[in-house]
Amino acid sequence: MDTSSLGVVTLVVALVALGLGLIGAVLGGRARSAQRALGREVAQLRGQIESLEDASARLKDAVETLSGDSGPARQEAAAQVARLEAMGRVLEGWSEDLEAAGVRADGLDARIRILEGRLRDHASEPPPIPSGRRPGRLEDLRAVLRAQAVEEVEQAEAAARAKLGQGRGAGAAPEATEAS
């Protein structure tokens, strides 16, 4: 692989790392915005739960004051108690949903941190470039090429000496043979 091919491969690896970094930034931004939206939703649910708890407490107080009365007031108080119990069950369901949303938000946050770490690792370490050859084999090839180059130089020198020797033997001037 020559240096220009190596430069192209290095450029491609750098572009891939840059692309991975951009993708990670986009994914991280989306995850953070989803996490913020989930946080707003959780806060809104907590506010609703608190207001329902306040209403529940007021209703319980009203039921207690009405329970002293007899007849229709007592029936109304029983209906109020039934509604309070139903609201309590709804509140319990919402608190479970709220806890599940908190766990999910924590899981998303952990996944974001893991993905950001992976992206940093990918961006900082370029992948190895496979050459398809083993180092020992490359050294053997280099040794063979060096030996062939030495043989070719020796053959060229021998041919030049032979040519120079033929030219002198025929009575030609040394300058003419060297010029050709």
Within-domain flag for 31: no
Domain containing 165 equals: 136-180
| Residue 32 placed within a domain | no
Tell me how many domains the chain contains. Answer: 1
Question: What is the distance between the alpha carbons of residues 85 and 93, in angstroms, rounded to a whole number?
Answer: 12
Residue 155 in any domain: the answer is yes
Residue 43: inside a domain: no
- What token pair was written down for 82? 């039934």
Task: Find the distance separating the first CA and the last CA of the chain, reported in whole Å.
Answer: 38
For tokens 């996944």, name the residue. 111
Dist. CA 54–CA 29, nearest whole Å? 38
* Structural domain contains residue 174: yes
Looking at beta carbons, which pairs linking 156-162 to residues 24 or more positions away fall under 8 Å? none
| pLDDT digit string (tens) for the chain, length 180 residues | 677 888 888 888 888 888 888 888 888 888 888 888 888 888 888 888 888 888 888 888 777 776 665 567 677 878 888 888 888 888 888 888 888 888 888 888 888 888 888 888 776 666 566 666 566 777 888 888 999 999 999 999 999 888 887 766 555 455 544 444
For helices 72-124 and 3-66, the axis angle rounded to 10 degrees is 170
Whether 152 is covered by a domain: the verdict is yes
Residue 141 counted as domain residue: yes
Tens of pLDDT, residues 45-70: 888 888 888 888 888 877 777 666 55
Alpha carbon distance 69, 129 (integer Å):
88
**Is 167 within the bounds of a domain?**
yes
Amino acid symbol at 165:
G
